[in-house]
Amino acid sequence: MFNSDVILTTSISEILEKREQINAKVKQAMEILSEACSIERSVTGVGYSNLESYFSGHHYVSLSNSKRTQESLGKYIDAAFWRSLLDASGIRAVMSAKKQKDIDSQISDNETPPFEAEAIASTFADLYEKRASMMEDGVVDVFRSLSWDYKTNNPVAMGRKIIINSVLDSYGTANTWRCDMLDDLIRILSVYDGKAIPEHRHGMYSLVSDAIQNGSYTFDCAYFSAKLFKKGSCHITFNEKSIRLLDLCNRAIARRFPASIPHHRRAAA
């Protein structure tokens, strides 16, 4: 039974005051987080925020173990900054498709090194030092991706005509991974030709997508003509000036797989 003589140990006014303090702190925290999201977007140049995604997703946030939450959140922010820096710097131009895929996987999994000056300098120095090796990796990957189901493809060398499967995905759109691989081929041909390495952000993916969109399913670049087929394959015919460059590509392949290319195809390897 209600007892009107119950003595409250804490006054109602004090409880209301604490409530107002809590609401004010929460509002302040939200304003600070919103400001942090704006700062992140100003750095990455994209319309979304990893910080906002973190809190709106299904991530474990512990207020009793704030250090753990802060470390986890820091990895999210570092991953976003690594992606932005790699895209803006142009360093991807010297990276093979496989290396780009490996780094993008690390970014997606938030397993990048800390975004700190020493780590940035070390990463870029390592990528630049290995640029020649990565370019050869790219042409070797193209060679290994050739389907020997076609008579056009030569199982012992890169020939005048090659066919690469899965340049279009199952939806009939450009396959990013395969387009990056074709960029690897363009990259090393450009180097062998003494030309500047093309801007990676306007590479094969754009050409393939445009060819699909305009309905021609064909496109040309400095070194070859290509025809796309709806089953996903891409038939490539190299132009005259590319023939001597293909010989250099075959020598690079021969260095990795000495038994793959006949001696007369790599005499100067």
pLDDT bucket at 107, cuts 50 / 70 / 90: very high
Interval 25-57: pLDDT, tens: 988 988 998 899 999 999 988 888 888 888 877
Residue with tokens 């056009």: 152
pLDDT in tens, 60-106: 676 667 788 888 888 888 999 999 888 888 788 888 888 888 999 99
Alpha helices in 146-258 (DSSP H): 176-192, 204-213, 243-256
Are 70 and 109 a contacting pair, CB within 8 Å? no
The pLDDT of residue 266 is 45
Residue 19's pLDDT is: 80
pLDDT score of 123: 92
Question: For the residues 161-186, what does the mean pLDDT come to?
Answer: 92
- Identify the CA nearest to 244 among candidates 268, 226, 263: 268
Reading the block at residue 20, the tokens are 């107002």
pTM score, two decimals? 0.68
Tell which wins on pLDDT, 235 or 50.
Answer: 235
